[in-house]
Amino acid sequence: MCIMKYSSFMILIISIYGVVTIDASELRTIDTTILRGAEFGDNFITKGKGSLTYEYSYIDSTSERKIKNDQERYQAWKDQGHSGVIRDYMKFEVYFAFSGPKMLANVDSWEFSSSGKRYHNIMQHAYNGEKMDAFRIKGSGKNGLHRAYGSIRENTIKAEFTDPRYFCIELAGKPVSRFLKGYYGDRDLESLSYLGEETLDNLLCKIFQGKIADSDTTITAWLAPDLFYRPKHVVIEYANILVEVHNKIELNEQNILFPTLILRENYYFDEITGEKILESRSTLEVHDDFELNVEIDDALFEIDFPRGLYVYDYRTGESMLVDNVHE
Protein backbone atom coordinates (compact mmCIF):
# COMPACT_ATOMS: atom_id res chain seq x y z
CA MET A 1 0.00 0.00 0.00
CA CYS A 2 1.34 3.39 -0.96
CA ILE A 3 -0.21 6.32 0.88
CA MET A 4 1.10 8.77 -1.72
CA LYS A 5 -1.19 7.44 -4.45
CA TYR A 6 -4.99 7.51 -4.36
CA SER A 7 -6.07 5.66 -7.49
CA SER A 8 -9.07 4.07 -5.72
CA PHE A 9 -11.72 5.28 -3.30
CA MET A 10 -10.71 2.86 -0.57
CA ILE A 11 -7.20 1.96 0.61
CA LEU A 12 -6.19 -1.12 2.57
CA ILE A 13 -3.71 -0.46 5.32
CA ILE A 14 -1.89 -3.52 6.60
CA SER A 15 -1.00 -2.85 10.22
CA ILE A 16 0.57 -4.88 12.98
CA TYR A 17 -2.97 -5.25 14.33
CA GLY A 18 -4.47 -6.61 11.12
CA VAL A 19 -5.91 -5.15 7.91
CA VAL A 20 -7.78 -1.88 8.26
CA THR A 21 -9.80 -0.21 5.48
CA ILE A 22 -9.73 3.60 5.41
CA ASP A 23 -11.50 5.95 3.06
CA ALA A 24 -8.96 7.81 0.88
CA SER A 25 -10.40 11.25 1.67
CA GLU A 26 -10.03 10.56 5.40
CA LEU A 27 -6.44 9.45 4.84
CA ARG A 28 -5.67 12.77 3.14
CA THR A 29 -6.93 14.60 6.22
CA ILE A 30 -4.78 12.47 8.51
CA ASP A 31 -1.79 13.05 6.22
CA THR A 32 -2.22 16.83 6.40
CA THR A 33 -2.21 16.77 10.19
CA ILE A 34 0.81 14.51 10.33
CA LEU A 35 2.73 16.51 7.74
CA ARG A 36 2.12 19.81 9.55
CA GLY A 37 3.34 18.30 12.80
CA ALA A 38 6.39 16.76 11.10
CA GLU A 39 7.27 20.01 9.31
CA PHE A 40 7.14 21.87 12.63
CA GLY A 41 9.31 19.18 14.23
CA ASP A 42 11.85 19.49 11.40
CA ASN A 43 12.26 23.22 12.04
CA PHE A 44 11.61 23.96 15.72
CA ILE A 45 15.27 23.44 16.70
CA THR A 46 17.53 25.73 14.65
CA LYS A 47 20.61 26.25 16.85
CA GLY A 48 22.32 24.42 19.65
CA LYS A 49 25.55 23.59 21.44
CA GLY A 50 26.78 21.24 24.12
CA SER A 51 28.82 18.09 24.69
CA LEU A 52 28.30 14.38 24.20
CA THR A 53 30.03 11.02 24.57
CA TYR A 54 30.03 8.55 21.68
CA GLU A 55 31.10 4.93 22.16
CA TYR A 56 31.38 2.25 19.48
CA SER A 57 32.30 -1.40 19.90
CA TYR A 58 32.58 -4.33 17.51
CA ILE A 59 30.99 -7.33 19.21
CA ASP A 60 33.21 -10.17 17.92
CA SER A 61 36.57 -9.05 16.55
CA THR A 62 37.68 -12.62 15.87
CA SER A 63 34.79 -13.68 13.63
CA GLU A 64 35.52 -14.85 10.09
CA ARG A 65 33.23 -12.14 8.73
CA LYS A 66 35.09 -9.41 10.64
CA ILE A 67 38.52 -10.60 9.48
CA LYS A 68 37.38 -10.78 5.85
CA ASN A 69 35.74 -7.33 5.96
CA ASP A 70 38.83 -5.79 7.58
CA GLN A 71 41.08 -7.24 4.89
CA GLU A 72 38.83 -5.88 2.12
CA ARG A 73 38.63 -2.41 3.71
CA TYR A 74 42.37 -2.23 4.30
CA GLN A 75 43.12 -3.30 0.70
CA ALA A 76 40.65 -0.70 -0.62
CA TRP A 77 42.45 2.01 1.36
CA LYS A 78 45.81 0.88 -0.06
CA ASP A 79 44.41 0.82 -3.61
CA GLN A 80 43.31 4.44 -3.14
CA GLY A 81 46.74 5.45 -1.86
CA HIS A 82 45.62 5.84 1.75
CA SER A 83 46.64 4.19 5.00
CA GLY A 84 44.34 3.35 7.84
CA VAL A 85 43.77 1.36 11.03
CA ILE A 86 40.76 -0.86 11.64
CA ARG A 87 39.11 0.22 14.88
CA ASP A 88 37.26 -2.24 17.11
CA TYR A 89 36.45 0.16 19.93
CA MET A 90 36.16 3.95 19.89
CA LYS A 91 35.25 6.51 22.52
CA PHE A 92 34.76 10.13 21.50
CA GLU A 93 34.29 13.11 23.80
CA VAL A 94 32.66 15.72 21.57
CA TYR A 95 31.85 19.41 21.88
CA PHE A 96 29.26 20.20 19.23
CA ALA A 97 27.51 23.30 17.91
CA PHE A 98 25.11 23.83 15.03
CA SER A 99 23.22 26.66 13.38
CA GLY A 100 20.99 25.37 10.62
CA PRO A 101 23.32 23.45 8.27
CA LYS A 102 26.46 24.92 9.87
CA MET A 103 28.24 22.53 12.24
CA LEU A 104 31.19 22.32 14.59
CA ALA A 105 32.60 19.15 16.16
CA ASN A 106 35.64 19.17 18.44
CA VAL A 107 36.54 15.53 19.14
CA ASP A 108 38.94 13.98 21.63
CA SER A 109 39.06 10.27 20.87
CA TRP A 110 40.59 6.99 21.99
CA GLU A 111 40.49 4.22 19.42
CA PHE A 112 41.55 0.59 19.84
CA SER A 113 42.47 -1.87 17.07
CA SER A 114 42.06 -5.65 17.05
CA SER A 115 45.83 -5.98 17.57
CA GLY A 116 45.51 -4.29 20.95
CA LYS A 117 47.07 -0.99 19.92
CA ARG A 118 45.40 2.22 21.03
CA TYR A 119 45.41 5.61 19.34
CA HIS A 120 44.68 9.04 20.75
CA ASN A 121 43.36 11.53 18.19
CA ILE A 122 42.26 15.13 18.45
CA MET A 123 39.99 16.38 15.67
CA GLN A 124 38.24 19.62 14.89
CA HIS A 125 35.71 19.83 12.06
CA ALA A 126 33.89 23.02 11.12
CA TYR A 127 31.36 23.42 8.29
CA ASN A 128 30.21 26.94 7.41
CA GLY A 129 27.52 25.96 4.93
CA GLU A 130 29.86 25.94 1.93
CA LYS A 131 33.02 24.09 2.97
CA MET A 132 34.39 21.96 5.78
CA ASP A 133 37.66 22.80 7.53
CA ALA A 134 39.33 19.88 9.31
CA PHE A 135 42.28 19.92 11.70
CA ARG A 136 43.51 16.62 13.11
CA ILE A 137 46.30 15.54 15.41
CA LYS A 138 46.46 11.80 14.78
CA GLY A 139 48.13 9.28 17.01
CA SER A 140 48.50 6.64 14.28
CA GLY A 141 51.55 8.20 12.64
CA LYS A 142 54.84 6.47 11.89
CA ASN A 143 56.55 5.07 15.01
CA GLY A 144 53.50 6.02 17.06
CA LEU A 145 54.19 9.75 16.74
CA HIS A 146 51.36 12.27 16.61
CA ARG A 147 50.98 14.04 13.28
CA ALA A 148 49.00 17.17 12.45
CA TYR A 149 46.83 17.37 9.35
CA GLY A 150 44.74 20.17 7.87
CA SER A 151 42.27 20.00 5.02
CA ILE A 152 39.42 21.83 3.32
CA ARG A 153 36.57 20.01 1.55
CA GLU A 154 33.24 20.87 -0.02
CA ASN A 155 31.30 18.23 1.91
CA THR A 156 29.85 18.60 5.36
CA ILE A 157 30.75 16.84 8.62
CA LYS A 158 29.93 13.16 9.09
CA ALA A 159 27.22 13.68 11.67
CA GLU A 160 26.37 10.20 12.96
CA PHE A 161 28.62 10.50 16.01
CA THR A 162 28.92 14.29 16.38
CA ASP A 163 25.41 15.67 15.87
CA PRO A 164 22.51 14.46 18.10
CA ARG A 165 20.00 15.60 15.47
CA TYR A 166 21.08 12.95 12.95
CA PHE A 167 18.99 10.00 14.17
CA CYS A 168 16.57 11.68 16.56
CA ILE A 169 15.48 15.09 15.25
CA GLU A 170 16.09 13.94 11.68
CA LEU A 171 15.58 10.55 10.07
CA ALA A 172 19.14 9.32 9.46
CA GLY A 173 20.14 12.85 8.49
CA LYS A 174 17.06 13.62 6.38
CA PRO A 175 13.89 15.64 7.22
CA VAL A 176 10.99 13.53 8.52
CA SER A 177 8.43 15.56 6.57
CA ARG A 178 10.23 14.83 3.29
CA PHE A 179 10.07 11.11 4.09
CA LEU A 180 6.31 11.37 4.68
CA LYS A 181 5.95 13.15 1.32
CA GLY A 182 7.64 10.26 -0.47
CA TYR A 183 11.28 11.25 -0.51
CA TYR A 184 14.46 10.37 1.34
CA GLY A 185 16.60 13.45 0.90
CA ASP A 186 16.85 13.91 -2.86
CA ARG A 187 15.84 10.32 -3.64
CA ASP A 188 12.33 9.09 -4.37
CA LEU A 189 10.59 6.47 -2.30
CA GLU A 190 9.23 3.61 -4.36
CA SER A 191 6.52 3.11 -1.74
CA LEU A 192 5.45 4.52 1.62
CA SER A 193 3.24 2.40 3.87
CA TYR A 194 1.45 3.05 7.16
CA LEU A 195 1.84 -0.02 9.36
CA GLY A 196 -0.22 1.01 12.38
CA GLU A 197 0.58 2.15 15.94
CA GLU A 198 2.74 0.96 18.81
CA THR A 199 3.56 2.39 22.24
CA LEU A 200 7.27 2.80 23.03
CA ASP A 201 8.49 4.24 26.35
CA ASN A 202 4.89 5.25 27.14
CA LEU A 203 4.65 7.24 23.89
CA LEU A 204 2.20 6.37 21.14
CA CYS A 205 4.01 6.05 17.79
CA LYS A 206 2.74 5.83 14.25
CA ILE A 207 4.76 3.41 12.13
CA PHE A 208 5.70 4.27 8.54
CA GLN A 209 7.80 2.20 6.17
CA GLY A 210 9.42 3.51 2.98
CA LYS A 211 11.41 1.70 0.31
CA ILE A 212 13.98 3.82 -1.51
CA ALA A 213 13.56 3.57 -5.28
CA ASP A 214 16.17 1.60 -7.26
CA SER A 215 17.77 0.19 -4.12
CA ASP A 216 17.51 -2.62 -1.57
CA THR A 217 17.03 -0.13 1.28
CA THR A 218 13.88 -0.03 3.41
CA ILE A 219 13.37 2.43 6.28
CA THR A 220 10.80 1.87 9.02
CA ALA A 221 10.21 4.73 11.47
CA TRP A 222 8.21 4.86 14.71
CA LEU A 223 7.14 8.53 14.80
CA ALA A 224 5.73 10.03 18.02
CA PRO A 225 2.94 12.61 17.50
CA ASP A 226 3.56 14.05 20.99
CA LEU A 227 7.16 14.75 19.91
CA PHE A 228 6.14 16.43 16.64
CA TYR A 229 6.68 13.11 14.84
CA ARG A 230 10.31 12.73 15.84
CA PRO A 231 11.66 9.17 15.48
CA LYS A 232 11.52 7.10 18.67
CA HIS A 233 12.75 4.02 16.85
CA VAL A 234 14.19 3.46 13.37
CA VAL A 235 15.00 0.28 11.45
CA ILE A 236 17.01 0.53 8.22
CA GLU A 237 17.37 -2.67 6.21
CA TYR A 238 19.88 -3.04 3.41
CA ALA A 239 20.61 -6.17 1.33
CA ASN A 240 22.23 -8.12 4.19
CA ILE A 241 22.50 -5.53 6.97
CA LEU A 242 19.98 -4.30 9.51
CA VAL A 243 20.42 -1.11 11.52
CA GLU A 244 18.22 -0.46 14.57
CA VAL A 245 18.22 2.90 16.37
CA HIS A 246 16.34 3.68 19.58
CA ASN A 247 16.10 7.21 20.94
CA LYS A 248 15.51 8.57 24.42
CA ILE A 249 14.07 12.09 24.28
CA GLU A 250 13.56 14.46 27.21
CA LEU A 251 12.68 18.08 27.95
CA ASN A 252 15.70 20.25 28.73
CA GLU A 253 15.80 23.26 31.06
CA GLN A 254 14.40 25.44 28.27
CA ASN A 255 11.39 23.10 28.02
CA ILE A 256 12.50 21.93 24.57
CA LEU A 257 12.52 18.28 23.51
CA PHE A 258 15.94 16.92 22.61
CA PRO A 259 17.63 13.49 22.53
CA THR A 260 19.60 12.46 25.60
CA LEU A 261 20.58 8.92 24.54
CA ILE A 262 20.76 7.25 21.13
CA LEU A 263 21.41 3.51 20.91
CA ARG A 264 22.39 2.04 17.54
CA GLU A 265 22.87 -1.65 16.78
CA ASN A 266 24.08 -3.11 13.48
CA TYR A 267 23.13 -6.66 12.53
CA TYR A 268 23.88 -8.97 9.63
CA PHE A 269 22.11 -12.12 8.47
CA ASP A 270 23.89 -15.48 8.49
CA GLU A 271 24.21 -16.67 4.88
CA ILE A 272 23.20 -20.24 5.77
CA THR A 273 20.67 -19.97 8.60
CA GLY A 274 19.35 -16.47 7.92
CA GLU A 275 19.77 -15.72 11.64
CA LYS A 276 20.07 -12.05 12.64
CA ILE A 277 23.46 -11.57 14.36
CA LEU A 278 24.55 -8.49 16.30
CA GLU A 279 27.75 -7.09 14.74
CA SER A 280 28.36 -3.73 16.41
CA ARG A 281 26.80 -1.39 18.94
CA SER A 282 27.16 2.34 19.59
CA THR A 283 25.71 4.83 22.05
CA LEU A 284 25.57 8.60 21.85
CA GLU A 285 24.86 10.28 25.20
CA VAL A 286 24.15 14.01 25.28
CA HIS A 287 25.29 15.74 28.49
CA ASP A 288 23.26 18.14 30.61
CA ASP A 289 25.15 21.21 29.37
CA PHE A 290 23.42 21.39 25.99
CA GLU A 291 21.54 24.56 25.04
CA LEU A 292 19.03 24.96 22.23
CA ASN A 293 17.89 27.89 20.10
CA VAL A 294 20.56 30.19 21.53
CA GLU A 295 22.86 32.57 19.68
CA ILE A 296 25.85 30.83 18.08
CA ASP A 297 28.86 32.83 16.88
CA ASP A 298 29.45 32.16 13.16
CA ALA A 299 33.20 32.29 13.80
CA LEU A 300 32.87 28.82 15.34
CA PHE A 301 32.23 27.33 11.92
CA GLU A 302 35.66 28.10 10.47
CA ILE A 303 39.02 26.87 11.75
CA ASP A 304 41.92 29.23 12.33
CA PHE A 305 44.65 26.76 11.34
CA PRO A 306 47.93 27.03 13.28
CA ARG A 307 50.76 28.76 11.44
CA GLY A 308 53.30 26.48 9.85
CA LEU A 309 50.77 23.76 9.03
CA TYR A 310 50.29 22.51 5.48
CA VAL A 311 46.58 22.41 4.62
CA TYR A 312 45.41 20.32 1.67
CA ASP A 313 42.49 21.80 -0.27
CA TYR A 314 40.53 18.94 -1.86
CA ARG A 315 38.61 21.45 -3.99
CA THR A 316 41.71 22.56 -5.88
CA GLY A 317 44.15 19.70 -5.25
CA GLU A 318 46.69 22.12 -3.79
CA SER A 319 48.54 22.27 -0.47
CA MET A 320 48.94 25.60 1.29
CA LEU A 321 51.39 26.58 3.99
CA VAL A 322 49.39 28.39 6.62
CA ASP A 323 50.04 31.95 7.25
CA ASN A 324 46.30 32.07 7.42
CA VAL A 325 44.44 30.30 4.63
CA HIS A 326 41.30 32.38 5.27
CA GLU A 327 43.06 35.71 4.74
pLDDT at 13: 33
What digits encode the pLDDT tens for the residues 84-113? 545 688 899 999 999 999 999 999 998 887
The mean pLDDT value for 121-126 works out to 93
Determine the Cα–Cα distance for residues 15 and 191; give it in Å rounded to an integer.
Answer: 15
166 class by beta-carbon count within 10 Å (0-12 exposed, 13-18 middle, 19+ buried): buried
| pLDDT averaged over every residue in the chain | 82
Mark 285-314 as b/e (b = at least 16 C-beta within 10 Å): bbeeebbbeeebeeebbbbebeeeeebebe
187 class by beta-carbon count within 10 Å (0-12 exposed, 13-18 middle, 19+ buried): middle
pLDDT at 155: 82
Q: What residues contact 125, with CB distance under 8 A and at least 6 apart?
A: 103, 104, 105, 107, 132, 133, 134, 157, 162
Please tell me which of 57-61, 240-244, 276-280 the model is most confident about, judged by mean pLDDT.
240-244
Share of the chain above pLDDT 70, in %: 78
The larger pLDDT score, comparing residue 10 to residue 68, is at 68
Indicate whether 15 pLDDT > 60.
no
What digits encode the pLDDT tens for the residues 251-289? 777 778 888 999 999 998 888 888 888 989 999 999 988
CA dihedral angle for residue 200, residue 2, residue 268, residue 59, rounded to 10 degrees = -30
What digits encode the pLDDT tens for the residues 68-86? 666 655 555 455 554 554 5
The larger pLDDT score, comparing residue 316 to residue 252, is at 316
What residue type is 128 in one-letter code?
N
**Contact criterion met (CB below 8 Å) for 152 and 314:** yes
What digits encode the pLDDT tens for the residues 212-239? 999 999 999 999 999 999 999 999 999 8
Indicate whether 156 pLDDT > 90.
no
The mean pLDDT value for 119-138 works out to 92
Note the pTM of the prediction, 2 decimals.
0.80
The larger pLDDT score, comparing residue 279 to residue 138, is at 279
**Contact criterion met (CB below 8 Å) for 205 and 221:** no
Q: What is the three-class DSSP state of 39?
A: helix
Indicate whether 325 pLDDT > 70.
no
What digits encode the pLDDT tens for the residues 167-226? 989 999 999 999 999 999 889 999 999 999 999 999 999 999 999 999 999 999 999 999
